[in-house]
Amino acid sequence: MRRETDDATGYQVVLAAETLDPVTTSAGVRILPDLTFEEASARAIDTLLVPGAVEVDDRRRVPALTDPAVVGWVRTLAATTRRATSVCVGAHLLAAAGLLDGKRATAHWSTAQQLAAEHPAVEVDADPIFIREGDIWTGAGISACLDLSLALVADDFGEATALRVARQLVMYLKRPGGQSQFSVPLEPVSTTRRIEDLRHHITRTLGEQHTVAGLAEFAHVSERQLTRIFKAELGMTPSVYIESARVEMARNHLESTDMTLERIASACGFGTTDTLVRAFRRRLDTTPTQYRLRFRSGTG
């Protein structure tokens, strides 16, 4: 950071925890705190950066954790800082401390629903890479918080300095699209055998034309009941799910093959390239060509 500015200005990063004992992350990395939360409360803090924690439960879900003692310290420290930011699921700690009430915020896509359910006073938007609401900033996934960091640099030192830092890190200053480009929206979330059979049927036959009537006949239910089942189990209509599945398949082709857009559109059931492009803009806020350039395997 300092080498990208014209003077010695920069950031001093200090790690704080409840004690000075090493903190072991869920990935097994040991982090050594510089000072305790109590010691930090006696210092002038410009930016409070709050990470989060998760655990894997017996159903392979990964809920975010909020330790009451840590939440209390976050509330205390945030009261005397210029701004507070969260990394990934750290948004859950900010929310539990009451710092996000009445504000729009983001978190990692995998815990966004949990954040919305546990904190109805927070307007959760799972797509943006990061969100700024006054002096509160929230970032999505870990890598997305590199984008947030660049935004903080731009806010403090200007766009020109942030651009120099981005170039040094070989990053976009502002990457296209939102975090839906990185999520896996079709992961198994249903506990009903009927809906799982439907999902597998759709996946196997994405290149074919699907209708609500045809899917209802496959599931031996009425069209109205089919729509109710999809909304209850997957939170979306059958048509929205089918388009999401087709976009997911198209993403895989774009990342791993040299197939033309025409062939991908046909193989995934879009029919035409225009339909494929519209679906990508609607779902991912980008185009198939831009997506391929960004995520193609083996490209630098």
CATH number assigned to the domain covering 193-295: 1.10.10.60
Please give the average per-residue pLDDT across 203-208, as a whole number. Answer: 87
Q: What is the pLDDT at residue 236?
A: 86
**Order of all β-strands in the sheet with 130-133:** 47-50, 83-86, 136-139, 130-133
Question: Of 70, 88, 202, 226, which one is the catalytic site residue?
Answer: 88
The answer to which of 168-172, 233-237, 290-294 has the lowest mean pLDDT is: 168-172
Rounded-to-integer distance, Cα 115 and Cα 95, Å = 8
**pLDDT attached to residue 128:** 82
Residue 259 class from Cβ within 10 Å (0-12 exposed, 13-18 middle, 19+ buried)? Answer: middle
| Lowest mean per-residue pLDDT among 28-37, 111-120, 231-240, 268-277 | 231-240
Catalytic site includes residue 88 = yes
What percentage of the chain carries pLDDT values higher than 70?
86
Domain 2-181 fold is Rossmann fold (3.40.50)
From CA 109, how far away is CA 120, in angstroms rounded? 17
Q: How far apart are CA 212 and CA 229, in angstroms?
A: 12
Domain segments of the chain as ranges: 2-181, 193-295
* Residues 235, 258: Cα–Cα separation, whole Å: 34
Distances from the Cα of 214 to the Cα of 199, 201, 230, 244, angstroms: 14, 11, 14, 18
Query: Which of 132, 121, 41 is CA-nearest to residue 79?
Result: 41
Give me the chain's average pLDDT, please: 85
Q: State the pairing for strand pair 30-31/23-24.
A: antiparallel
60: left (phi over 0), alpha (psi -120 to 50) or beta: left
- pTM of the predicted model as reported, rounded to 2 decimal places: 0.63
Percent of the chain with pLDDT over 90: 48
Where does the pLDDT of residue 187 fall: very low under 50, low under 70, confident under 90, or very high at 90 and above?
very low
Q: What is the pLDDT of residue 97?
A: 97
The mean per-residue pLDDT over the stretch 20-42 comes to: 92
